[in-house]
Structure 1
Amino acid sequence: MGRIVHYLMVTSFVVLAMISTNSPSCQACFGPWCKRPPVPCFAATNEDYCTSDICPHVCEVNHVVSNRAYCKKPGRRDPVPIWLCCCPSPR
């Protein structure tokens, strides 16, 4: 019985390892090595506020194609509070 459980555990780990090294579209992430690259963000045209209408144009100006652009609020700990337009890759 113990051998069967051990065999199943090893087999499931090998399958997970094989999936995690597969293409990103069907990747099972576990561990720190499969973090996605950061989304490129750029300063909004007006540093005091940001709208969803402005961000796609900011992405275009910076030569990034994105149909899911969004505003990122400045964090409390940011030395200079600037609104950012983030441009994730299109789906």
Structure 2
Amino acid sequence: MDNDEQRLESHNSISLSGKETKLLAYLMKNPGKAIESSILLDQGWYKDDEADETDLWIYISYLHQKLQAVNAHVTIAGEKGGPFTLSQLA
């Protein structure tokens, strides 16, 4: 992931939004760890932004699709409400 350019690359590349970049960067710093929704909400949104677990789920879904689109060797596991884990594909 290129944080500065907000781009995800593997076999090809795709653009990320600012929130997607923040969320994925945090997950990448904590691979294999189950991260609670509240922590990811703090990472992706400013405290004055009104965001909830549904908003987070939407962005996690976008990231999941984008990881698949670039044929990444990782995925984000978890159900709506969390926790979420960045893990290697088998």
Q: Aligning the two structures, in what range does the TM-score lie when normalised by the shorter sequence?
A: under 0.3
> Which structure has the highest strand share of the two?
2
> Between Structure 1 and Structure 2, whose CA radius of gyration is higher?
1
TM-score (norm 1): 0.26
- If asked which structure has higher relative contact order (CA below 8 Å, sep 6+), I would say 2
